[in-house]
Chain A
Amino acid sequence: MAESSWLTEFPQLDRADLRDIRKSLDAGYREFSREYGEFIESFFDPLLTFLVWFEKLLLATPWWLVIAVIAGLAYLASRSWKLGLGVVISFMLIGYFGMWDNTMRTMSIILVCTLMAIALGVPIGIAMARSDRAQAFVTPVLDVMQTMPAFVYLIPVVMLLGIGKIPGVIAVIIYAIPPVIRLTNLGIRLVDKDVMEAATAYGASPFQRLTGVQLPLAMPTIMAGINQTIMMSLSMVVIASMIGVKGLGQPVLKSITNQYFTLGLLNGLAIVALAIIFDRVSQAYAKRAQEHMKGLENG
């Protein structure tokens, strides 16, 4: 090659070198997954057992009982008859169009993912709020998690754990956890400094400040984060179905490959219905908590 070729051609890595890098990295990771795959899988076993159990529970429960429980919870959270009625009608329609089982599967995985995201995300958010260093470290990680296409991180997960529920849950959590982390952090940081100072001045311990002041005052913001997390997990349902997560995503996937427009639409609408129900219920709950806090309730 001529000396000045870098002026016209980008001075890129030699193709052979690049191929070697790829090969050695891939081989290394494959080695790693062969070595530790089983161990890591067994680590997730309890979760898998729970997932399976929960899905079976939802599927085995009579439909009217499921509807009654969900409508009841929606009413308790929001104190709105309309919302309760909306829940009943949506689930009746879902069942009528033959999507009951898939809806139960999707709901079980979404609920588990959301619970896991909260259980992991809130403590991480708290840690971020307490230390600027933790925040500086976690924020770019969250940025990557939110912008990296899901398919990219599906590859190593599938290589490691194969196809099934667990990799699906992991993929959904990676995609959906950032809002709850971010908003927990934000909510705690936004807590009025004067109130925190007062708590400190009266001798509150760090734990008392966290549970008695920071978390309650940050709750509306945290709830907004949880709400977004639920929405994002639902939007992952189709992608998760590509790696073997059963539910409403699979018929959609089938519709794409076979061009079944109506099937896709119906299942899509079922996902939307779930999303709207989750959204309204969690928002109504957050709003009620907030009103109570602001003391605007007359009761």
Chain B
Amino acid sequence: MADVLIEIESLYKLFGNNPAKYMPLVHEGKSKDEILAETGHTLGLKDINLQIKRGEIFVIMGLSGSGKSTLIRHFNRLIDPTEGVIKVEGTDVMQFGAKELQEFRRHKMSMVFQRFGLLPHKNVVDNVSYGLQIQGVDRAEAKAKAVEWLDTVGLAGYEDQYPSQLSGGQQQRVGLARALCTDAEILLMDEAFSALDPLIRSEMQDQLIKLQETLHKTIVFITHDLDEALRLGDRIAILKDGEVVQQGEPEDILLNPATEYVEAFVRDVNRARALTVETVMKDPAYRITAETIEEALKQMKGFKQDYGYVVNDEGFQGVVTEEALKEAYADDKAADLTVDVMESCDPLEPGAVLESVIPCTLESEYPLPVVDEDGNLTGRLSRGTLSDVLGERSA
């Protein structure tokens, strides 16, 4: 799953009448504004380097005018670069002639647009099967496939309607069905959900995530909304004035914003909802592997803590406090360390979002253990860590 499907190397785009003439200025490092003032050319993209892996959702995020649409249109060459290399499966897309490019667009990539881009004079099935019609697929076959995809996106029964008869959300479902109908491996989505109401948008996000679980497409998703980026993205690249200022996994970006620009983006994110336990937890230290009370107490002395996590061959067993151990020691120091001595405590799941674990973490006197599905202790989450992570936004 980890092989690179799309590769972009030193991509530049300068908009204007004579971009080649002014490229040296760009390489000199002049800013977008300086270049515009001096030459009347708009610097659309500057030195973009990206590697998009097969099967991932790669999100490109940035404010309006940052070059997102320009960038995504380079993938299928709706816009040609001024300089740079675009490779898909190792093939240099820039070498394609008109015919090859057509074939490439027909079979390799499909696209979903912010303003839907549906054909107003065709009904919904014909819109969905448009890609197949273009390929010259038999009409009946194309239609059957379109009907299937319409059903998948939840629009069964709308086949004969025209786009203008549908709501925005429904129109974008048609757009999505059209993109899926060609079975292209790569899905380009340019602010596909940005024009929709928040509720519909989040429904569409759910649908996309669900579809992706079975389809495993490679999706390049554009958005200006960080919440959406964090929700959908396996990796995120942040674009500013045509430059990538940071790229990485969502947690990276949230926890270590590279520049003030990224920080400003990240500031308004609800971290409690965006981050999961495993992204902020500390290492699983303070393991107690002893079998008797006496040994356990000895181990705990070594940690300089008044608690510990009991683990054995079968995985995590429970938490013990120094106090409880001492009490048991007084009774019988050679006794086995059993569940009776341990605290009753529900361990956290690594994938839980922080919001859901705030109450129990705050109530607990010791950092809560994080235990994975197999019962292994993978980390601990303390009150302090939680308040650090969640409190940072006001800092």
Interface residues of A (CB under 8 A from B): 192, 194-195, 197-205, 208, 212-213, 216-217, 292-296
Contact = CB atoms under 8 A, between A and B. Distances in A.
A216 B121 contact: yes
B111 A198 contact: yes
A208 B131 CA distance: 11
Contacts of A204: 102, 134
Interface of B: 76, 78, 102-107, 109-111, 113, 115-121, 123, 130-131, 133-135, 161-165, 178, 182, 188
Going nearest first, the 10 A-B pairs with the smallest beta carbon separation are A295-B162, A198-B117, A203-B106, A203-B105, A293-B121, A201-B111, A194-B117, A202-B131, A295-B164, A203-B102
A201 B121 CA distance: 18
Contacts of A199: 119, 130, 134
Contact of B161 (A195, A213, A216, A295): A295
B119 A195 contact: yes
A202 B164 contact: no
Contacts of A205: 102, 134
B102 A294 contact: no
B162 A203 contact: no
Contacts of A192: 120
A278 B107 CA distance: 47
A209 to B, nearest CB: 10
Contacts of A203: 102-107, 131, 134-135
A262 to B, nearest CB: 49
A147 to B, nearest CB: 34
Contacts of B135: 203
A198 B76 CA distance: 11
A294 B120 contact: yes
B120 A293 contact: yes
Contact of B119 (A201, A213, A294, A296): A213
A129 B164 CA distance: 26
A201 B76 contact: yes
A111 B326 CA distance: 109
A201 B164 contact: no
28 contacts: A194-B115, A195-B119, A197-B78, A197-B113, A197-B117, A199-B134, A201-B78, A201-B105, A201-B109, A201-B110, A201-B117, A201-B188, A202-B111, A202-B130, A202-B182, A203-B104, A203-B105, A203-B131, A204-B134, A205-B102, A292-B121, A293-B120, A294-B120, A294-B162, A294-B164, A295-B163, A295-B164, A295-B165
B195 to A, nearest CB: 11
Nearest to B124: A295
Contacts of A197: 78, 113, 117
A197 B123 CA distance: 19
Contacts of A293: 120-121, 162
Given A199-B134, A201-B188, 19 more contacts: A192-B120, A194-B113, A195-B117, A198-B111, A198-B119, A199-B130, A201-B105, A201-B109, A202-B178, A202-B182, A204-B134, A212-B119, A213-B119, A216-B121, A292-B121, A295-B120, A295-B161, A295-B163, A295-B165
A172 to B, nearest CB: 32
By secondary structure, the A interface counts as helix
A198 B113 contact: yes
Contacts of B76: 201
A291 B178 CA distance: 24
A200 B105 contact: yes
Contact of A195 (B102, B105, B120): B120
Contacts of B78: 197, 200-201
Contacts of B118: 195, 198
Most buried by B among A194, A202, A205, A293: A202
Nearest to B121: A293
Contacts of A294: 120, 162, 164
A217 B121 contact: yes
Contacts of B103: 203
Given A203-B106, A203-B135, A217 B113 contact: no
Most buried by A among B116, B121, B123: B121
Nearest to A201: B111
B105 A296 contact: no
B108 to A, nearest CB: 9
A167 B336 CA distance: 117
Contacts of B182: 202
Most buried by A among B107, B162, B178, B188: B162
Contacts of B109: 201
A183 to B, nearest CB: 18
A81 B161 CA distance: 28
Contacts of B121: 216-217, 292-293
B134 A202 contact: yes
B28 to A, nearest CB: 33
Nearest to B175: A198
A249 to B, nearest CB: 40
Given A195-B119, A293-B121, A295-B164, A202 B105 contact: yes
B73 to A, nearest CB: 8
Contacts of A213: 119
Contacts of B111: 198, 201-202
B123 A295 contact: yes
A216 B121 CA distance: 7
A187 to B, nearest CB: 13
Contacts of B115: 194
A296 to B, nearest CB: 7
A204 B76 CA distance: 13
Nearest to B131: A202
Contacts of A198: 111, 113, 117-119
